Structure 1
Amino acid sequence: MRLSTVILPIHHWSEGQQIWRRAEDLGFHAAYTYDHLSWRSFRDGPWFGAVPTLTAAAVVTQRMRLGTLVTSPNFRHPVTLAKELISLDDISGGRMTLGIGAGGTGFDATALGQEPWTPRERADRLGEFVPLLDRLLTEDAVSYEGDHYSAHEARNIPGCLQRPRLPFAIAATGPRGLRLAARYGQGWVTTGDPRLYEDGTPEQSVRALRDQAEKLADACAARGREVAELDKILLTGFTPDRGRPLESLDAFVDFAGRHRELGFTELVVHWPIPDSDFAADEKVFERIATEAPAQL
């Protein structure tokens, strides 16, 4: 099981670059960032763009993988996103992963002046976005006319450094999203069952995650694909355990072991942010980063 972190883009780069370098020094497999225009309680504070942040992070790191958790169609278009991803993959030396999902109803959904889409509308757009993005990242020129997106002779030469393209980690829990993950994903991302966050128990969360993983396996089987081909990524902090796994090394190893048994291959922990839902003791956090992988 690999251990990764997600660093929210809230830091001026004079401070932020030290955090990304430290993440690599601690041995994290990957460091991701949120691809939002703003987010929840951080809305009225500093919040920087994901693509420039990852570009800068690619320059100050050498080994660690980088990526988004997650990008969505809420304010992205596949033609322009493809160009940025090809550039990021080149600058990073082939270390980029695109986490992508349908998005939600937060600030991103209305920042461009549109009404928020329904869950069905978000799924419709993702179902068109991902296949088109796949083509844009693997073909030199693409023309396409769909219900939601279009491309006219969109050129993407030389393509990704990673071949045939950079990996997709598709965030999904519903049947349509899981089918997309089974067809196009090199990874699958979940945060658990959001209905359990407030009043659920860790045991209920494990059962819900097991059910999600089984549905992913069914979607892969329907495609004639082995589910073992996909990385299974859990973005932590949104299950009923919340921040408790980061309270001690033993607590984290116990949490990680329970989820490894479900087939998860990568756990992502939030870089500590004081006075927030992601507050944690930095010394404990660093001990988890350096000691937990060996125990797993």
Structure 2
Amino acid sequence: MRLSTVILPVHRWSEGQKIWQQAEDLGFHTAYTYDHLTWRTFRDGPWFGALPTLTAAASVTGRIRLGTLVTSPNFRHPVPLAKELMALDDISGGRFTLGIGAGGDGFDATALGQEPWTPRERADRFAEFVPLLDRLLTEEAVSHEGTHYSAREARAVPGCVQRPRLPFAVAAAGPRGMRLAARHGQAWVTTGDPKIARTGTPEQSRTAIGAQIRRLEEICAETGRDAAGLDRILLTGFTPDGGTPMESLDAFVDFAGAHFALGIDEIVIHSPIPDSEFAAEQAVYEKIAVDALAQLR
């Protein structure tokens, strides 16, 4: 059982660095951030770049793992991304995890001037993006002529600190994405079943997550992957429970215990942001960080 946090990149660094340092002091396993150009209700407010923010976080912490949750092809190309990730892995001393997903249809999908991709187009790009990024982070020189992405003698020297490369946490709700997680991931990420995020009940959500885990295990078996070696991460805030688990330590312990029992290995909660969908009492957040796992054990 692991407990991690997400710190959205909405703070100027003079304030933000304290939040990242506090996450380490509170004992979180990993501190992630969203890799978006902006996001939903935060679109008209401050929003800083994920990779520079994580680089700065690496320089003011020494133990906590760091990561994106998640990076996507919406505005990233595997070749320059691989260079930036290799550098970030080096600067952090091998503490970086790449959360990676197919992307959505929000602001990121059109910010570069393109028309939004259909779900099938996003899946097609993701299916090419992940294997190419895997190669770029493990091979010294990569050439690739693909449908969506190309590389010509792209170099990755000296490579990642973590070997054979930094870990991938692949976000996926459907079978195509789960196959990518089984083939290339060290972890799989879920936010629950998006079909019932607004209309379902907590019980229906847990049933759906359990079904996702069983499907992931079936796909691992089909691909020859040992499912026990693939961590399962739940990013909270998007199930029908809403913000309820953050109302008290007891509420979170009940929520987390039910999901750990399903087979989830790591639960990720949002660092509170007042007057937003991630508003929560700072004292409750800190108490969860310090005491929740001990109660669950």
TM-score normalised by length of structure 1:
0.99
Once the 2 structures are TM-superposed, how far is the Cα of residue 197 of structure 1 from its aligned partner?
A: 1.9
Secondary structure of the corresponding residue to residue 93 of structure 2: coil
Gaps of 5+ in 2: none
Counterpart in the other structure of 2:244: 244
Counterpart in the other structure of 1:122: 122
Distance of 1:40 and 1:260 partners within structure 2 = 29
Secondary structure of the corresponding residue to residue 262 of structure 2: coil
Once the 2 structures are TM-superposed, how far is the Cα of residue 240 of structure 1 from its aligned partner?
A: 0.5
1:128-207, aligned counterparts within 5 Å? 128-207=128-207
Query: Which letter maps to 1:183?
Result: R
Once the 2 structures are TM-superposed, how far is the Cα of residue 284 of structure 1 from its aligned partner?
A: 0.8
Secondary structure of the corresponding residue to residue 112 of structure 1: coil
Distance of 1:275 and 1:11 partners within structure 2 = 14
1:33-112, aligned counterparts within 5 Å? 33-112=33-112
Distance of 1:295 and 1:151 partners within structure 2 = 50
Secondary structure of the corresponding residue to residue 121 of structure 1: helix
Q: How big is each residue's C-alpha offset from its partner over 1:201-223, in whole Å with a ceiling of 9 and x where there is no partner?
A: 00000010011101100110011
Counterpart in the other structure of 1:209: 209
Secondary structure of the corresponding residue to residue 15 of structure 1: helix
Once the 2 structures are TM-superposed, how far is the Cα of residue 194 of structure 1 from its aligned partner?
A: 1.6
Secondary structure of the corresponding residue to residue 169 of structure 1: strand
Query: Which letter maps to 1:3?
Result: L
Query: Which letter maps to 1:41?
Result: T
Once the 2 structures are TM-superposed, how far is the Cα of residue 196 of structure 1 from its aligned partner?
A: 1.5
Q: How big is each residue's C-alpha offset from its partner over 1:57-101, in whole Å with a ceiling of 9 and x where there is no partner?
A: 000000000000000000000000000000000000000000000
Gaps of 5+ in 1: none
Secondary structure of the corresponding residue to residue 233 of structure 2: strand
Distance of 2:195 and 2:274 partners within structure 1 = 26
Q: How big is each residue's C-alpha offset from its partner over 1:122-162, in whole Å with a ceiling of 9 and x where there is no partner?
A: 00000000000000000000011000000000011000000
Secondary structure of the corresponding residue to residue 59 of structure 1: helix
Counterpart in the other structure of 1:295: 295
Query: Which letter maps to 2:108?
Result: D
Query: Which letter maps to 1:73?
Result: P
Q: How big is each residue's C-alpha offset from its partner over 1:223-261, in whole Å with a ceiling of 9 and x where there is no partner?
A: 111111011000000000011101111110110000001
Q: How big is each residue's C-alpha offset from its partner over 1:147-184, in whole Å with a ceiling of 9 and x where there is no partner?
A: 00000000110000000000000000111000000000
Distance of 2:6 and 2:217 partners within structure 1 = 26
Secondary structure of the corresponding residue to residue 189 of structure 1: strand
Secondary structure of the corresponding residue to residue 237 of structure 1: coil
Distance of 1:248 and 1:218 partners within structure 2 = 36
Q: How many residues align?
A: 296
Once the 2 structures are TM-superposed, how far is the Cα of residue 293 of structure 1 from its aligned partner?
A: 1.2
Distance of 1:107 and 1:247 partners within structure 2 = 30
Query: Which letter maps to 2:209?
Result: L
Distance of 1:35 and 1:58 partners within structure 2 = 16
Give the root-mean-square deviation of aligned CA atoms: 0.5
1:257-296, aligned counterparts within 5 Å? 257-296=257-296
Secondary structure of the corresponding residue to residue 279 of structure 1: coil
Once the 2 structures are TM-superposed, how far is the Cα of residue 282 of structure 1 from its aligned partner?
A: 0.5
Once the 2 structures are TM-superposed, how far is the Cα of residue 295 of structure 1 from its aligned partner?
A: 1.5
Distance of 1:146 and 1:199 partners within structure 2 = 40
Counterpart in the other structure of 2:228: 228
Distance of 1:199 and 1:218 partners within structure 2 = 28
Query: Which letter maps to 2:138?
Result: T
TM-score normalised by length of structure 2:
0.99
Distance of 2:141 and 2:95 partners within structure 1 = 24
Secondary structure of the corresponding residue to residue 56 of structure 1: helix
